[in-house]
Structure 1
Amino acid sequence: MQYVISILGILVVLFLAWVVSSNRKKIKFKPIITMIVIQILLSLLLLNTEFGLIIIKGIAAIFNKLLEYAAEGVTFVFGGIANEGEAPFFLTVLLPIVFISVLIGILQYLKILPFIMRGIGYLLSKVNGMGKLESYNAVASLMVGQSEVFITLKKQLGMLSKQRLYTLCASAMSTVSMSIVGAYMTMLDPKYVVTALVLNLFGGFIIASIVNPYEVKPNEDILEIQATEKQSFFEMIGEYILDGFKVAIIVGVMLIGFIALVAAFNNVFELLFTISFQRLLGYLFAPIAFIMGIPLSEAVDAGAIMATKLVTNEFVAMLDLSGGDYQFSERTMGILSVFLVSFANFSSIGIIAGAVKGLNEQQGNVVARFGLKLLYGATLVSILSGIIVSFIL
């Protein structure tokens, strides 16, 4: 029965993408089917094989070691602030982003990261039926982040059609930056975080191929990456340290605001309607949770977490999932964990539109106009990833 629901879920997601498609006649179904099969095979590899377990453990070990290194710096500066045995979220989860940001900067400086992004992007373009630019952008978004990726494409932004710009922005919203993956792994099982990263990469292409189909002519498919201004090694390190700290502060401030708002909404709704705001959202999202393969008995609670992620951000939802008093099965925990690993939320519309507008005002306005459609597509990517995992768990 669970396989029937999962198959039905995939068909529902594809239908919901088809409903808002800008050109249904141009949809290429062969690459879409190929990528869904690849998603299922990769999920099977990562979650159900010994080799996949070795990969997951290796990646988790790397991030655990990075977090240990980061803890050395955090403890030196903030040691003694926390009481014995306590682990403040800002110190243990957010501040390590600074160290991982520096590592990304070093890999960029040594030209290792651009080489990897171009190589994987080229291979992806052979599978997804899209251009090299779109494929590079999806990998680059995963490596450097949803706003920073547009800096590397600054020269080409002004020449992009509305259709291609949508695909680039959808990829940026569907993935997550490697700089905060370590933070996610402190709240979720690493195997689900790694699986989500891979699935979202292909899921972004699948949904974009339906919502926004188009042909890329050979003379338009030129990948010209903007070279950053030459800096000394220590200038670069200083810049990435500050960038990482800005991300940590921004996430921390957003958490304070969003968690406080959710608490306030819950209290007001309980006073007026005898039901919390999150519970109400849970009922609205329960059907989506069900088609993702989550049992009806857990669908309302799962729907509340999914809705929290959409209206606030993934950190708030992850904290709710990991710290809440839920009695979810292991399968539901896996599906929800995969769903939460993306930037698909309302605040990301402003972040992406602002990033593009800072580089090209006209194109930034274009992004702002299709912002809701962008969020709609990215949310479908998260739902699809959760459904794919439900086949395996």
Structure 2
Amino acid sequence: MKYAIALLGILVVVVITYLGSNDRRNIRFRPIVLMIVLQAVLAFLLLNTGVGELMIKGFASVFDHLLGYASEGVNFVFGGLANEGQMPFFLSVLLPIIFISALIGILQYAKVLPFVIKYIGFILSKVNGMGKLESYNAVASAILGQSEVFISVKKQIGKLPKHRLYTLCASAMSTVSMSIVGAYMTMINPKYVVTALVLNLFGGFIIASILNPYTVTSEEDILEVREEEKQSFFEMLGEYIMDGFKVAITVAAMLIGFVALIALVNGIFSGLFGISFQQLLGFVFAPFAFVMGVPWKEAVEAGSIMATKIVSNEFVAMLELGKHTALSTHTVGIVSVFLVSFANFSSIGIIAGAVKGLHEKQGNVVARFGLRLLFGATMVSVLSATVAGLFI
């Protein structure tokens, strides 16, 4: 039964995306099928084998140690501010982003990340049937972040046609940046974070290949990655530390605003209709939760958390998931994988703003297909969660 529902879920995603495609006749199904099979194989390896368990434990251990080192800096500045054993969310989850951002800057400065991103992207381009630029961008987005990644391809932003620009933006919304992966791991099981990172990478190409199919000619398939302006080591380090701080503050502000607004809307709906806004959205998203593999008796509850992620952001939804302690392990795993992406309304503004800052005309183009971006990124999350659900 579980496998039948998963196949149904994959079929639903493909059909819905197909209906929204802008060029159905040019969809190439062979690389799509190959990537779905790859997703299933990778999900099995990560969730059901000793090798996968070892890899996830190793990955989680690295971030656990990094968060421990980050807490040294946080405690030095804010020590004694929190009650014993009650570290505030901002201090324990968000401020460590500053340290992770600094490490990413060091790896960028040492040319380690550019090398890794470029060659993983090259290998991916052989699998997904898309251009080198699109493949590079997908890997870079998962490491650098949804706005910072566009700086590295600044030279080509202005030359890109609408369809290729869409794929670049879709990759940025379907992934998450490495600087906040550690924060996610403090809120949900690390194995689901790692699984989502891997599956979303291929899921982004699958959905883009259906929703926005095209062929890149050899003349167009040129990858020009912008070299960062030469800075001294400490100039670079200061810049990345401040970038990390800005991310932490931005996420904190978004959480304050969205949590408060959701509470307000829930209060209004409860008073008028006897049901909260989140519960209402739960009924809308329940069918999607069900085809992802969530038991029907938990589908409304899971759908409510999924909806919270889309209308606010993944942090708010992860906090909400933590409150639903009666959900089964299977449901928690599926919903956790769904939550690990930037697919929400606020990301439309972030991505459009990032592109507009580099090229105003192209930024306006991105703003016009913003809802289509969100639709595609949400389908990526549904697909990844459905495939992962087979092995949870």
Determine if the TM-score, normalized by the shorter chain, exceeds 0.5. yes
Number of the residue aligned with 1:354: 353
Q: Which residue of 1 aligns with 2:304?
A: 304
Q: Deviations over 1:3-41 (max 9, x none)?
A: 111101100000111011110011000000000000000
- In structure 2, what residue type is equivalent to 1:228? E
CA–CA separation in structure 2 for the residues paired with 1:85 and 1:330: 27
Counterparts of 1:313-332 in structure 2, within 5 Å, are 313-322=313-322, 324-332=323-331
1:120 aligns with 2:81: no
Question: Which amino acid is 1:12 matched to?
Answer: V
**Correspondence for 1:48:** 48
Displacement, 1:326? Answer: 3.5
The reply on whether 1:345 has 2:358 as its aligned counterpart is no
Quote the offset at 1:231 in angstroms: 0.3
Residue in 1 aligned with 2:20?
Answer: 20
Deviations 1:35-80 (A, max 9, x none): 0000000000000000001000000000000000000000000000
Matched residues in 1 for 2:189 and 2:297: separation?
23
- Which residue identity does 1:49 align to in structure 2? T
Q: CA deviation at 1:311?
A: 0.1
Matched, 1:371 2:362: no
Deviation of 1:87 after TM superposition, in Å, equals 1.3
CA pair 325-386 structure 1, distance change in 2 beyond 3 A: closer
Matches within 5 A, 1:98-113: 98-113=98-113
CA distance in structure 2 between the partners assigned to 1:19 and 1:354 by the alignment: 29
In 1, the alpha carbon distance for the partners of 2:266 and 2:361 equals 40
Residue type of the alignment partner of 2:298: E
CA distance in 2, matches of 1:126, 1:31: 10
Matching residue of 1:242: 242
Structure 2 match to 1:57: 57
Partner residue, 2:215: 215
Q: CA RMSD in A?
A: 0.5
Encode CA deviations 1:142-178: one digit per residue, 9 max, x unaligned.
Answer: 0100000000011100110100000000000000000
The whole-number CA distance in structure 2 between the counterparts of 1:346 and 1:154 is 24
* Superposition deviation, residue 363 in structure 1: 0.4
Match of 2:229 in 1: 229
5 Å-filtered alignment, 1:125-164, equals 125-164=125-164
Aligned-residue offset at 1:337: 0.4
In structure 1, distance between residues paired with 2:217 and 2:119: 21
**Which residue type is aligned with residue 210 of structure 1?**
I
Shift of 1:2: 1.3
Residue in 1 that maps onto 2:165 = 165
Moved over 3 A (4+): none
Aligned residue pairs total 392
Percentage identity across paired residues of the two chains: 69
Deviation (angstroms), 1:325: 3.6
Amino acid at match of 2:368: R
- Secondary structure of 2:84's partner? coil
Name the structure 2 match of 1:190.
190
Supply the distance in 1 between the matched residues of 2:84 and 2:215 (Cα, whole angstroms): 60
Opposite residue 382 of structure 2, the aligned amino acid is: I
Superimposed CA distance per residue, residues 331-353 of structure 1 (whole angstroms, 9 cap, x where no aligned partner): 11110000000000000000000
Distance 1:84 1:168 in 2: 45
